[in-house]
Chains A and B, each alone.
Chain A
Amino acid sequence: MEATVSSCKVVEGGGGSSRSRSQFSMQFISNLTDLQELEEVYGRLCAEQNDAESQLEMLVNQQSSIENKMTVLQRMGPNLQLIEGDAEQLSGMISFTCNLAENVSSKVRQLDLAKNRLYQAIQRADDILDLKFCMDGVQTALKNEDYEQAAAHIHRYLSLDKSVIELSRQGKEGSIIDANLNLLQDAEQRLKVIVAEKFSVATKEGDLPQVERFFKIFPLLGLHEEGLSKFSEYLCQQVANKAEENLLLALGTDLSDRRAAVIFADTLTLLFEGIARIVETHQPIVETFYGPGRLFTLIQHLQVECDRQVDKVVDKFIQQRGYHRKFQQVQNSMMRMSATDKIEPRELDPILAEVALMNARSELYLRFIKRRISSDFEVGDSMASEEVRQEHQKSLDNLLNHCLLSRTMQEVIGYYITMEEYFMRETVNKAVTMDTCEKGQLTSSMVDDVFYIVKKCIGRALSGSSIDCLCAMINHSTTVLESDFREVLCNKLRMGFPATTFQDFQRGVTSAVNIMHSSLQQGKFDTKGIESMDEAKLSFLVSLNNVEVCSENIMTLKKTLENDCTKLFSQGFGGEQAHAKIDSCLTDLASVSNKFRDLLQEGLGELNTTAVKPQVKPWINIFLSVSHNIEEEEFNDYEANDPWVQQFIINLEQLMAEFKTGLSPVIYDNLTSLMTSLIAIELEKVVLKSTFSRLGGLQFDKELRSLVAYLTTVTTWTIRDKFARLSQMATILNLERVTEILDYWGPNSGPLTWRLTPAEVRQVLALRMDFRSEDIKRLRL
């Protein structure tokens, strides 16, 4: 043990490591005297030694792996050296390449600069050469009268960079260039004069190839506007010549000529077609030689001539047709009430047709121009700013809306509308005065006539292709139908359906059908001069039918016009608001249909109260004189000789026969519906005034069933509902005992919905003579 301790101390002492040094120094140990202390220190030292040994062992164990690692590291050594060498080499190469690249790119830059300068130099040299070439070329070309060539040279010169020329002049050869430049400018002026002269000679001689030849030269000399205006002048002259010729021909037209009535419209058409052809023919040259966006200028010039010619034609039209005079007459006629000195509407017919045609042609022409200019602007403006586009759009709108042609036609149409309105109103009035009713017809002639006229007038306005004019005529038609014509029908209905006299009643109602047929033996009757009462009756019924047909015709007219207008819009007529405007005007027109429908209802109500009610009521009142407080014997007697209901049904049948033949099915059905309601109400009244026995109740039940069965056959409306209260009254009157009502009442009512109040049930029960009032009172309903 000693030895171990000491050896341990040696190691520790030799190791010199303060960390593993023992906590006890030799000196400390040597000085120990106490055994206990020594033993304690010894124990500790032993523990230290153990620790040291295990550490040592661990280290020894690691030795081999460390050695392995060392060998690996040693083997790697040479490789690392290789890598280092390579890396150095690479870096060297990179920096070399970098330098090289920088070198190259700076050379490229220099080269670029050099190249650009070279190009500029070449360009300048070229330009100078060109300039010289132009100077020489222009002279030769002019000498050879090769104006295209000369102009091409001038064009080249004009497109040269002015600064280049300036620089060249400052160069060594300045004076020579100066001299040549002067020559060139001189030549330019000379060429301009020559081209203008040659052009004007060509136009004078009407030499179209030469005209076009020089027209193409203007833009080369930078004279776009001048070229266009000179060319237009030439074209305008042609337009004018042709137009004058046509107008002269027109004025000489024989009255028997097929086109005599529309000769001015035809003359305008020729004018427009001529201009359209010119535009079509020359548009390609303008586009090719003047560039896009120039067509507007050309057409603007042409429009001036067009306006001038239109003015002449329209002037002649106004003179020859007496347009203003007729307008004046119409205006005077509208003021006057008497028919004597009114202008005959028929006289206006041809002139109105011609004006519509004139306007249609104008609109067509304006639309053509609009399309052409728009698309030309579009090509030119594809890169332009919004402002430029709007500016162009505005000048186009301005041209179209405010050219004399537009203004002239607006004026002509202004008169037209007043005259067309007059024509419509007067012709409608005439149709009303000439109204007749053909045998077997439900409506009279004026309805068809009036709608024929209205359609004709609106159709004519539509054919004129002016949306505002069409709207105005729709508005006027609305007025004529709603005020004028509706008033006529109103007045007819106001005369009323003549009340049937007592004699009629006594005769047991003469079959009105027979009367009607006899009054129609001549086939017609004049609805104005109504003399007999039967005619008055018939007139009322016809008027009702007329009102219904009007209501339907208006809706049909609206739909037709909608379709027509859709077609018109799809062809590109009308501005952005056109659709909304037409829609609004047509909605107003359609609303008149409802007004006719209201009138029909009022008329039917009138018929019901004046013709049906006074007849039906007495027939129902007869019920009061037929006792229902009956015994077996009377009941059987009634069975054999019906006391009331059969005759009532026969009377109704006769009464309604007149209406059935005289009214349209729809109106007749409406009337029978009104009548059934009336019967139900009146019958209820008399039942409540009668008294019943048990058999009387049965009798009433039979009567009611017959009546309902009959009425069901004459109307398509369900009448069960209208007779529900009466049926329930019959049920009550048929009871065995008062209390039997409880089998049908309250929780026992089943599918039956009572239309009678408890008080009414008691009231009906009380009609039974055999029911005791105490029993009725005692009922809990």
Chain B
Amino acid sequence: MSMEDYDFLFKIVLIGNAGVGKTCLVRRFTQGLFPPGQGATIGVDFMIKTVEIKGEKVKLQIWDTAGQERFRSITQSYYRSANALILTYDISCEESFRCLPEWLREIEQYANSKVITVLVGNKIDLAEKREVSQQRAEEFAETQNMYYLETSAKESDNVEKLFLDLARRLISEARQNTLANSAASPLPGEGKSIGYLNCCNFN
């Protein structure tokens, strides 16, 4: 399919309420900056960053979606092909936490069943304004089988870790998937049902 210079390609989609800091997280990770006066995202933004993990080039396609309600139908169309979802809320905004079940319903409805979801509590630099305790978020994440991480796009806390850990997890999932697929020779329409990960592996 492609002679491009990478070993793995993954799609990561950021979702969550408007203003929780999705764009800032992406910009911090891809450009190493905290944009002042970041405006609300219109539709979806698209960015690519290639990272190296244990000598392997991993190309991350990052889709930064708009949190505002009116873009929901656009962003929903990206769930299905996502390898990973970063569900973000703002630790200084109870409301953004309370909306999480609604987002989980969306994931349930539209995303691939194999998708990896990470819950991210952003803006931990605003410690004095914290409205959602870490424990509460961790407990919630556990009930939903999600990884949980707290970040600050502003202070660059855990941002790198968020994406790199995710990439590592995606690689190991992709490896398992390729193994599972090559083991059984599938009947028509079975087994290989959605070879969404093995198409990314070029080795």
Q: A residues engaging B (CB < 8 A)?
A: 397-398, 401-402, 406-407, 410-411, 413-415, 417-418, 421, 467-469, 471-473, 475-476, 478-479, 482, 486-487, 490-491, 493-494, 577, 580-581, 584, 588, 591, 594-595, 598-599, 602-603, 606
Chain A nearest Cβ from B83, distance in angstroms: 12
Question: Is B99 among interface residues, defined by CB-CB distance under 8 A?
Answer: no
Known pairs A415-B73, A471-B77; A602 contacts B45 (CB<8 A)? no
Q: Are B71 and A414 in contact (CB under 8 A)?
A: yes
Q: List 23 A-B contacts (CB under 8 A).
A: A398-B39, A414-B70, A468-B42, A471-B44, A471-B74, A472-B73, A472-B74, A472-B76, A475-B81, A479-B77, A479-B80, A486-B189, A490-B189, A493-B189, A494-B187, A494-B188, A577-B46, A591-B199, A594-B1, A595-B195, A598-B192, A602-B186, A602-B187
Q: Are A580 and B46 in contact (CB under 8 A)?
A: yes
Closest to A410 in B: B70
Q: Are B71 and A475 in contact (CB under 8 A)?
A: no
> How many contacting A-B pairs (Cβ < 8 A)?
86
Closest to A398 in B: B39
Q: Are B73 and A475 in contact (CB under 8 A)?
A: no
Alpha-carbon distance between A468 and B194 when the two chains are bound, in angstroms:
25
> Given the complex, which residues of B lie within 8 Å of A599, measured CB to CB?
188-189
Chain A nearest Cβ from B89, distance in angstroms: 22
Q: Are A478 and B81 in contact (CB under 8 A)?
A: yes
Q: Are B74 and A414 in contact (CB under 8 A)?
A: yes
Closest to A475 in B: B77
> Given the complex, which residues of B lie within 8 Å of A468, measured CB to CB?
42-44, 71, 74
> Given the complex, which residues of A lie within 8 Å of B98, measured CB to CB?
none
> Given the complex, which residues of B lie within 8 Å of A473, measured CB to CB?
77
> Given the complex, which residues of A lie within 8 Å of B77, measured CB to CB?
417, 421, 471-473, 475-476, 479
> Given the complex, which residues of B lie within 8 Å of A476, measured CB to CB?
77
> Given the complex, which residues of B lie within 8 Å of A584, measured CB to CB?
46, 61
> Given the complex, which residues of A lie within 8 Å of B74, measured CB to CB?
413-414, 417, 468-469, 471-472
Q: Are B188 and A490 in contact (CB under 8 A)?
A: yes
Alpha-carbon distance between A431 and B39 when the two chains are bound, in angstroms:
44
- The 5 A-B pairs of least Cβ separation, nearest first, read A490-B189, A468-B43, A475-B77, A472-B77, A417-B73
Question: Is B175 among interface residues, defined by CB-CB distance under 8 A?
Answer: no
> Given the complex, which residues of A lie within 8 Å of B163, measured CB to CB?
none
Chain A nearest Cβ from B8, distance in angstroms: 15
> Given the complex, which residues of B lie within 8 Å of A413, measured CB to CB?
74
Alpha-carbon distance between A588 and B77 when the two chains are bound, in angstroms:
12
Q: Are A487 and B189 in contact (CB under 8 A)?
A: yes
Task: Give the one of A467, A591, A594 with max B CB within 10 A.
Answer: A591
Q: Are A410 and B71 in contact (CB under 8 A)?
A: yes
Question: Is B72 among interface residues, defined by CB-CB distance under 8 A?
Answer: yes
Q: Are A475 and B78 in contact (CB under 8 A)?
A: yes
Q: Are A602 and B42 in contact (CB under 8 A)?
A: no
Closest to A493 in B: B188
> Given the complex, which residues of A lie within 8 Å of B192, measured CB to CB?
598
Alpha-carbon distance between A486 and B195 when the two chains are bound, in angstroms:
14
> Given the complex, which residues of B lie within 8 Å of A577, measured CB to CB?
45-46
Q: Are B39 and A602 in contact (CB under 8 A)?
A: no
Please tell me the number of chain B residues within 8 Å of chain A, measured between CB atoms: 28
Q: Are B42 and A475 in contact (CB under 8 A)?
A: no
> Given the complex, which residues of B lie within 8 Å of A486, measured CB to CB?
189
Per-residue 0/1 for B3-19: is the Cβ within 8 Å of any A Cβ (1 yes, 0 no)? 00000000000000000
Q: Beyond the given A471-B77, A478-B81, could you list 11 further A-B residue pairs with CB under 8 A, ordered by the A residue number?
A: A410-B43, A421-B77, A472-B77, A475-B77, A476-B77, A487-B189, A493-B189, A584-B61, A598-B192, A598-B195, A606-B187
Q: Are A491 and B46 in contact (CB under 8 A)?
A: no
> Given the complex, which residues of B lie within 8 Å of A398, measured CB to CB?
39
Q: Are B42 and A401 in contact (CB under 8 A)?
A: yes
Alpha-carbon distance between A623 and B77 when the two chains are bound, in angstroms:
59
> Given the complex, which residues of B lie within 8 Å of A397, measured CB to CB?
39
Alpha-carbon distance between A411 and B74 when the two chains are bound, in angstroms:
11
Known pairs A398-B39, A591-B199; A494 contacts B73 (CB<8 A)? no
Chain B nearest Cβ from A736, distance in angstroms: 45
Chain A nearest Cβ from B27, distance in angstroms: 13
Chain A nearest Cβ from B29, distance in angstroms: 16
Per-residue 0/1 for B63-77: is the Cβ within 8 Å of any A Cβ (1 yes, 0 no)? 000000111111011
Among B39, B48, B72, contact of A401 (Cβ-Cβ < 8 Å): B39
Chain B nearest Cβ from A463, distance in angstroms: 17
Chain B nearest Cβ from A255, distance in angstroms: 30
Known pairs A407-B70, A598-B192; A581 contacts B44 (CB<8 A)? yes
Per-residue 0/1 for B102-121: is the Cβ within 8 Å of any A Cβ (1 yes, 0 no)? 00000000000000000000
Among A410, A421, A482, A606, contact of B42 (Cβ-Cβ < 8 Å): A410
Task: Give the one of B46, B48, B70, B77 with max A CB within 10 A.
Answer: B77
Chain A nearest Cβ from B196, distance in angstroms: 9
Closest to B75 in A: A472
Chain A nearest Cβ from B159, distance in angstroms: 21
Closest to B195 in A: A595
Alpha-carbon distance between A472 and B74 when the two chains are bound, in angstroms:
5
Closest to A491 in B: B189
Closest to B48 in A: A580
Q: Are B70 and A606 in contact (CB under 8 A)?
A: no
Among A487, A491, A581, A588, contact of B81 (Cβ-Cβ < 8 Å): A588
> Given the complex, which residues of A lie within 8 Å of B48, measured CB to CB?
580
Alpha-carbon distance between A398 and B1 when the two chains are bound, in angstroms:
40
Closest to B81 in A: A588
> Given the complex, which residues of A lie within 8 Å of B43, measured CB to CB?
410, 467-468
> Given the complex, which residues of A lie within 8 Å of B45, measured CB to CB?
577
Chain A nearest Cβ from B74, distance in angstroms: 5
Alpha-carbon distance between A38 and B188 when the two chains are bound, in angstroms:
146
> Given the complex, which residues of A lie within 8 Å of B199, measured CB to CB?
591, 594
Alpha-carbon distance between A59 and B189 when the two chains are bound, in angstroms:
129
> Given the complex, which residues of A lie within 8 Å of B1, measured CB to CB?
591, 594
Among A407, A418, A482, contact of B73 (Cβ-Cβ < 8 Å): A418
> Given the complex, which residues of A lie within 8 Å of B187, measured CB to CB?
494, 602, 606
Chain A nearest Cβ from B42, distance in angstroms: 5
> Given the complex, which residues of B lie within 8 Å of A581, measured CB to CB?
44, 46
Q: Which of B44-96 contact A (CB under 8 A)?
A: 44-46, 48, 61, 69-74, 76-78, 80-81
Alpha-carbon distance between A397 and B73 when the two chains are bound, in angstroms:
23
Alpha-carbon distance between A548 and B124 when the two chains are bound, in angstroms:
53
Chain A nearest Cβ from B115, distance in angstroms: 14
Alpha-carbon distance between A397 and B40 when the two chains are bound, in angstroms:
12
Chain A nearest Cβ from B198, distance in angstroms: 11
Alpha-carbon distance between A486 and B48 when the two chains are bound, in angstroms:
30
> Given the complex, which residues of A lie within 8 Å of B46, measured CB to CB?
577, 580-581, 584
Alpha-carbon distance between A493 and B187 when the two chains are bound, in angstroms:
10
Alpha-carbon distance between A473 and B76 when the two chains are bound, in angstroms:
11
Closest to B44 in A: A468
Alpha-carbon distance between A407 and B194 when the two chains are bound, in angstroms:
37
Closest to A327 in B: B73
Q: Are A602 and B189 in contact (CB under 8 A)?
A: yes
> Given the complex, which residues of A lie within 8 Å of B194, measured CB to CB?
482
> Given the complex, which residues of B lie within 8 Å of A472, measured CB to CB?
73-74, 76-77
Alpha-carbon distance between A407 and B66 when the two chains are bound, in angstroms:
13
> Given the complex, which residues of B lie within 8 Å of A606, measured CB to CB?
187-188
> Given the complex, which residues of A lie within 8 Å of B76, measured CB to CB?
472
Closest to A472 in B: B77
Alpha-carbon distance between A599 and B187 when the two chains are bound, in angstroms:
9
Q: Are B42 and A414 in contact (CB under 8 A)?
A: no
> Given the complex, which residues of A lie within 8 Å of B80, measured CB to CB?
475, 478-479
Among B61, B73, B81, B188, contact of A414 (Cβ-Cβ < 8 Å): B73
Q: Are A414 and B39 in contact (CB under 8 A)?
A: no
Alpha-carbon distance between A397 and B187 when the two chains are bound, in angstroms:
53
> Given the complex, which residues of A lie within 8 Å of B188, measured CB to CB?
490, 493-494, 599, 602-603, 606
Alpha-carbon distance between A410 and B195 when the two chains are bound, in angstroms:
34
> Given the complex, which residues of A lie within 8 Å of B195, measured CB to CB?
595, 598
> Given the complex, which residues of B lie within 8 Å of A479, measured CB to CB?
77, 80
Alpha-carbon distance between A472 and B77 when the two chains are bound, in angstroms:
5
Alpha-carbon distance between A417 and B45 when the two chains are bound, in angstroms:
18
